[in-house]
């Protein structure tokens, strides 16, 4: 199981998502799968972020159509780093 690291901006983004009425259980489910090193189902559209200066070596998945999670995994030190969450317009 990977150790979860919450970045400061992720914590702010998470609070904003809750204010917008996003269901925290959906995010918890995705984070749990990632921390347990399970492959995400196709519906989450998990993919590498290409050509992104802000998010080098990061991945993105869709919790809902316009609710994203940006994260990094490091298998060498067994960590899951949660970088950002929010809508497309919030993140890009």
Q: Helices marked H in 1-92 — which ranges? A: 8-19, 24-35, 88-91
Query: Is residue 4, in this structure, part of any structural domain at all?
Result: no
Which CATH number belongs to the domain containing residue 45 in this structure? 3.30.2310.20
Distance CA 14, CA 86 (A): 8
Is the entire prediction scored with pTM above 0.85? yes
pLDDT band at 92 (very low <50, low <70, confident <90, very high): confident
Query: Is residue 39, in this structure, part of any structural domain at all?
Result: yes
Domain containing residue 30: 17-49+56-77
Given this model, what pLDDT does residue 54 score?
A: 82
Query: Is residue 7, in this structure, part of any structural domain at all?
Result: no
Query: Is residue 43, in this structure, part of any structural domain at all?
Result: yes
**Residue pLDDT, tens place only, 3-62:** 999 999 999 999 999 999 999 999 999 999 999 999 999 999 999 998 778 888 899 999
Catalytic residues: 88
pLDDT band at 70 (very low <50, low <70, confident <90, very high): very high
Domain count, the chain: 1
Query: Is residue 6, in this structure, part of any structural domain at all?
Result: no
């Amino acid at each position: 199981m990977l150790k979860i690291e919450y970045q400061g901006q992720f914590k702010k983004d998470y609070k904003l998502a809750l204010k917008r009425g996003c269901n925290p259980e959906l995010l918890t489910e995705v984070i749990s799968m990632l921390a347990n090193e399970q492959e995400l189902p196709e519906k989450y559209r998990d993919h590498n972020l290409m050509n992104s200066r802000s998010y080098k070596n990061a991945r993105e998945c869709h919790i809902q159509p316009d609710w994203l999670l940006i994260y990094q995994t490091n298998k060498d030190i067994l960590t899951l780093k949660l970088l950002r969450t929010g809508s497309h317009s919030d993140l890009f």
